[in-house]
Amino acid sequence: MGEITVSAQHIDHLLHDPASTYGTPYQQAFADLAATHRGRPVAEIVPLLRKAADAALLGFTAADLTEQAETISTGARYELRVRVTA
């Protein structure tokens, strides 16, 4: 399970918010990769996750992204603990 801290004003960068004008949140990018990259090598998935995290201005570590890529590759469930700050 991963963990991330996100400011309340940028929660829409991580999770879908229908009231937001922000583009594709990380949650959607992750889901899209999970749907299209199952069984693919972790090394192929990590840069795609990094690109999505950078675009969403989220500070995932290399270890976080590798763990996420492993779950996408294997089709396992991934849990992310989100701490929202003011």
Q: What is the pLDDT of residue 21?
A: 87
Q: Give average pLDDT by consecutive 10-residue segment, the chain, 86 residues.
A: 91 92 92 97 98 94 96 95 93
Q: Which long-range contacts (CB under 8 A, 24 or more apart) does 74-77 make?
A: 74/38, 75/34, 75/38, 75/39
* Cα–Cα distance for residue pair 25/37, rounded to 1 Å: 18
pLDDT at 23: 87
The residues facing 3 across adjacent strands are 81
Q: Do 16 and 28 meet the contact criterion of CB atoms below 8 Å apart?
A: yes
Alpha-carbon span 21 to 29, nearest angstrom: 16
Closest Cα partner for 57 from 22, 83, 16? 22
